[in-house]
Structure 1
Amino acid sequence: MNYWNGLEIKILWIDEDYRNQGLGRTLLKHLENKAIKRGVSIAIVDTFDFQAEEFYIKNGYDVIGEIKNFPKGHRRIYFSKVLE
């Protein structure tokens, strides 16, 4: 979803059978490129520490905040990335 000058990624999920093949990175880059063509300059997304934290970091996203112990024993992490 994009609005104002932002791309907000609500769900990006790859079935376990297809992970570690570069599909997530390809899909993410495709979304970012389409957003850039629409004038978007920033992407935002959130995930949990047991999901895709490292994936977003590897793809150039910066941690901008987190909620500790949500869910209990874990963290919800918020990211952003300047799109160029």
Structure 2
Amino acid sequence: MVKDDNDVEIGGILSGIGCWNGLEIKVLWVKEDYRKTGMGTKLLKHVENLAIEKGATISILDTFDFQAEGFYLKNGYEQIGEINDFPTGHKRIYLFKKLIL
């Protein structure tokens, strides 16, 4: 979690290491006023580095086409699948990134 100078939450990430040493990212959020400042990338890199220290070798997550697809692609994730028309008119996208090359 990231807080501003007034101790107000402005970003965070919910993740954990699951089966077979995979980092599973469930939620990454940044308050709208702080988006496009690099905070999301810093949060992502921080949790990836912590996961590597704990033995994770891969990171997996999903997002929607109206959320953060471009953000994750920009940060080295690769799309491995999608469900079209879920929710209606959109798609759910599954991505991964090798943490250890």
Bin for the TM-score computed over the shorter chain = over 0.9
Normalising by the residue count of structure 2, what TM-score does the alignment of the two structures yield?
0.82
* Runs (4+) off by over 2 Å: none
Match of 2:92, SS state, is strand
Cα deviations by residue, 1:30-58 (Å, 9 ceiling, x for unpaired): 00000000000000010000000000000
1:2 aligns with 2:42: no
Mapped to 1, the partners of 2:91 and 2:77 lie a distance apart of 17
Matched pairs, number: 84
Normalized per residue, the structure richer in strand is 2
Give the match for residue 58 of structure 1: 74
Identity of aligned residues (%): 63
Q: Which has the higher contact order (CA 8 A, sep 6+)?
A: 1
Structure 1 position 16, deviation (Å): 0.5
**What is aligned with 2:87?**
71
Which residue type is aligned with residue 20 of structure 1? K
Report how far residue 74 of structure 1 moved.
0.2
State the Cα distance separating 1:19 from its structure 2 match: 0.2
SS at match of 1:27: helix
Whole-Å separation in 2 of the counterparts to 1:69 and 1:55: 21
SS in structure 1 at match of 2:30? coil
SS of aligned partner of 2:43: helix
- Structure 1's unaligned 5+ residue stretches are none
In structure 1, distance between residues paired with 2:31 and 2:56: 28
